[in-house]
Amino acid sequence: MDTPVGDNISQSNAGWSFEGISEEFDEHVERSVPLYNAGHDLVCKLSDFFLPEDGLVVELGTSTGVLAERFLKFNEGRKKFRYLGLDVVDGMLEKARSRCAAFENASFVNEDIRIVETEPTSMFISYYTMQFIHPSYRQEVIDKIYQALEWGGAFMLFEKVRAPDARFQDIMNQLYHEFKIDNGFSEVEIMAKQRSLKGVLEPFSTQANVDMMKRAGFLDVMTIMKSVSFEGFLAIK
Q: Express each pLDDT in 118-166 by its tens digit.
A: 899 999 999 999 999 999 999 999 999 999 999 999 999 999 999 999 9
Instruction: Give pLDDT tens digits for 220-229.
Output: 999 999 999 9
Domains along the sequence of the chain with CATH:
3-32+163-196 (no CATH), 36-162+203-236 (3.40.50.150)
Kindly write down the DSSP assignment for every residue of 87-114, as one continuous string. ES-HHHHHHHHHHTTT-TTEEEEE--TT
- 227: burial class by Cβ within 10 Å (0-12, 13-18, 19+)? middle
pLDDT band at 79 (very low <50, low <70, confident <90, very high): confident
SS3 7: coil
Half-sphere exposure of 163 (CA within 13 A, CB side): 15
| Average pLDDT for the chain | 96
- Please check the confidence at residue 82 and state whether its pLDDT lies above 90: yes
Dist. CA 173–CA 163, nearest whole Å:
9
pLDDT on residue 60: 97
Dist. CA 142–CA 144, nearest whole Å:
5
SS3 124: strand
Dist. CA 199–CA 197, nearest whole Å:
6
SS3 25: helix
Per the document, the length of the chain is 237
Dist. CA 221–CA 209, nearest whole Å:
10
Phi then psi for residue 102, to 5 deg, are -75, -10
Say if pTM beats, i.e. exceeds, 0.75. Answer: yes
Greatest Cα-to-Cα distance within the chain, rounded to the nearest angstrom: 51
Dist. CA 222–CA 210, nearest whole Å:
8
C-beta of residue 144 within 8 angstroms of C-beta of residue 120: no
